[in-house]
Copies of this chain bind each other. A is one copy, B any other.
Amino acid sequence: MVSEPKPVARRRKLRDALIHAAERTIEKEGLRGLKARELAYKVGCAVGAIYNVFTDLDDLIFAVNALTLEQLEKTLTLAGEKGADPQSGAIRALTHLALAYTDYAAANRPRWRALFDHRLAEGRDVPAWYQAQLARLFVYIEEPLRKLAPAMEPAARMQLARSLFSAVHGIVLIGLEEKLQSIPLSTVRAQVTFMVEAFAKGLARA
C-alpha cells in the first residue's frame, strides 16, 4: 500500500510533461503542429504511453485550453466598479473585462486561437468539467449586466453575456487578423471600448 503512490506520481509527472510540451508546441506552431509522435519524442516516452494518461489528443488539448482559460481568468478583475453611480460603474466594469480579453488575446495569440480552433471529431462532446470552467468566465460579464438591466431574467442575462462576449471576440478576431491593413492594438482597444460603452448605455436606457 505504501508503494501505491509511485505509479500515480509517475502518471502525474508524465501527464504534466505532456501538457507542458503541448503548450510549447501550440505557442510556437498552433494546434496544427500537435502530433502524438513528436510529443512523445519531446517528453521521452513511447507514443502509446500518451494514451495511458489522455484518452486522445483532444483530451490533451482540453487540458491545455483549460490552463489558457485559467490564465485568462486571472486577468479578469472587476476593477472600475468603485465610486460613481452603479450604472457607470457597471459600464466601466464591462469595458475593463472586454479590454482584459483583448489584451490577453493580443499577447497570447496562438494559445488564444487554440481555444477556438479546436475542432472535435463528430460525435465527440466537450467534457462537462471544461464546460463548467468556461461557464464560470461568463459570470464575470453577467454581474455588471445585472446592474445595467436588473429586470432581465437570469437565463436571458446568461445568453446576453455570451452575445456580448461574442461581439467583443469578433472585433478582436478581425482586428488582430486584419488582412486588409494592419490595425494597431490601440485601435482594436478603442473599437472594443466604443462598442461596449454604446451597447451598455443602450442597454441601461432601454
Contact = CB atoms under 8 A, between A and B. Distances in A.
Interface of A: 120, 126, 131, 134, 159-160, 162-171, 173-175, 179-180, 187, 191-192, 194-195, 197-203, 205-206
A179 B126 CA distance: 7
Contacts of A131: 180
Contact of A203 (B162, B202, B206): B202
A171 B131 CA distance: 19
A201 B195 contact: no
B191 A163 contact: yes
Contact of A191 (B126, B159, B198): B159
Given A170-B167, A170-B169, A206 B195 contact: no
A61 to B, nearest CB: 12
Residue of A131, A169, A179 with most partner-chain B CB within 10 A = A179
Given A120-B179, A126-B180, A179-B120, A163 B195 contact: yes
Given A163-B191, A166-B191, A198-B206, 20 more contacts: A120-B179, A134-B180, A160-B191, A160-B194, A163-B171, A165-B174, A166-B175, A167-B167, A167-B170, A167-B171, A168-B170, A170-B171, A173-B173, A197-B202, A197-B206, A198-B199, A198-B203, A201-B202, A201-B205, A205-B205
